[in-house]
A and B are shown apart, each in its own frame.
Chain A
Amino acid sequence: MQNKLNFIDILDQTSGARGGKEDPGSFEYTLSAEITSIYPLTATEKLYQIQIIDPDQRKRFSFRPGQFVMLELPGIGEAPFSISSSPIRHGDIELCIRAVGNLTNFLARVERGTRVGISGPFGTHFPLEKMQGQDILLIGGGLGIVPLRSPLLAVLENRSRYGRVDIMYGAKTPAELLFTYQYEEWRRFDIELGITVDQADKSWHGRTGLITELLQERISQTPNLRENTYAIVCGPPVMFHFVCKMLTEAGLPMQKMFVSLERRMHCGRGKCCRCNIGSTYTCLDGPVFDYWSVMNLKEAI
Chain B
Amino acid sequence: MIFKVFKKEELARLHELLAVNIIVGPVSKGNDRNGKPLYDFDVTYDFNELALDYTQTVHSPKRFVLPYHETLSTFSITRDGWKKHVDLNVYRPLVFFGMHACDINALNKLDLVLAQSTYPNPYYMGKRKNLFIIGMGCNPEPQCFCRSMGTDSVLHGFDLFLTDLGGKYFAEILSATAFDLLTQLTCQDPSAKDLALYKHATKEKSKRYTATVDTSDLTKILDLEFESTAWDAWGEKCLSCGTCANVCPTCYCYGVDEHVDPDLKHASKIKSLHSCNLIDFAKVAGGHNFRPTSASRLKYRYYHKHRGFVEAFEESLCVGCGRCGAACLADITPPEVIASVRGKE
A: residues with CB less than 8 A from B are: 1, 3-11, 21-30, 32, 72-79, 100-101, 104, 115, 117, 262-264, 266-267, 269-274, 276-280, 284, 298-299
Contacts and interface: CB of A to CB of B under 8 A. Distances in A.
B21 A117 contact: no
Interface stretch (B121-129, B163-171, B194-202): B121-129
A115 B82 contact: yes
Contacts of B118: 21-22, 269-270, 284
A271 B114 contact: yes
Given A271-B113, A279-B307, 18 more contacts: A5-B93, A8-B126, A9-B126, A27-B120, A72-B258, A75-B75, A75-B260, A76-B260, A78-B256, A78-B258, A117-B84, A264-B283, A269-B119, A270-B119, A271-B252, A273-B304, A278-B300, A279-B308
From B93, B123, B181, B290, name the one whose CB has the most chain A CB atoms within 10 angstroms: B290
A273 B120 contact: no
Contacts of A26: 119
A4 B20 contact: yes
Contacts of A7: 91-93, 130
Nearest to A13: B129
A263 B285 CA distance: 9
A272 B254 contact: yes
A4 B21 contact: yes
Contact of A21 (B119, B129, B255, B261): B119
Nearest to B284: A264
Contact of B121 (A262, A271, A299): A271
The 3 closest A-B pairs by CB, nearest first: A279-B308, A75-B267, A75-B260
Contact of A100 (B84, B95, B285, B308): B285
Nearest to A268: B119
Contacts of B274: 272, 274
From A6, A100, A298, name the one whose CB has the most chain B CB atoms within 10 angstroms: A298
Interface in B252-283: 252-261, 267-269, 274, 276, 281-283
Given A264-B282, A274-B253, A279-B308, A299 B18 contact: no
Contacts of B259: 75
Nearest to A298: B226
A263 B255 contact: no
Contacts of A5: 21, 93, 95, 130, 132, 177
B10 to A, nearest CB: 15
B308 A278 contact: yes
A97 to B, nearest CB: 11
Contacts, number: 160
B129 A8 contact: yes
Interface in B191-212: none
15 contacts: A3-B20, A10-B88, A11-B122, A73-B258, A74-B267, A76-B267, A100-B285, A264-B290, A270-B117, A271-B114, A273-B253, A274-B253, A276-B300, A276-B304, A284-B118
B82 A74 contact: yes
Contacts of B84: 28, 30, 74, 117
Interface of B: 17-18, 20-21, 72-73, 75, 77, 80-82, 84, 86, 88, 91-93, 95, 113-114, 117-123, 125-126, 129-130, 132, 177, 181, 184, 223, 226, 252-261, 267-269, 274, 276, 281-286, 290-291, 296, 300, 303-304, 307-309, 311-312
Given A5-B132, A75-B77, A272 B256 contact: yes
B123 to A, nearest CB: 8
Contact of A77 (B18, B80, B258): B258
Given A3-B21, A278-B308, A10 B125 contact: yes
Contacts of B114: 271
From A24, A28, A74, name the one whose CB has the most chain B CB atoms within 10 angstroms: A74
From B18, B122, B274, name the one whose CB has the most chain A CB atoms within 10 angstroms: B122
Given A78-B256, A104-B285, A263-B284, A11 B81 contact: no
B81 A279 contact: no
B285 A101 contact: yes
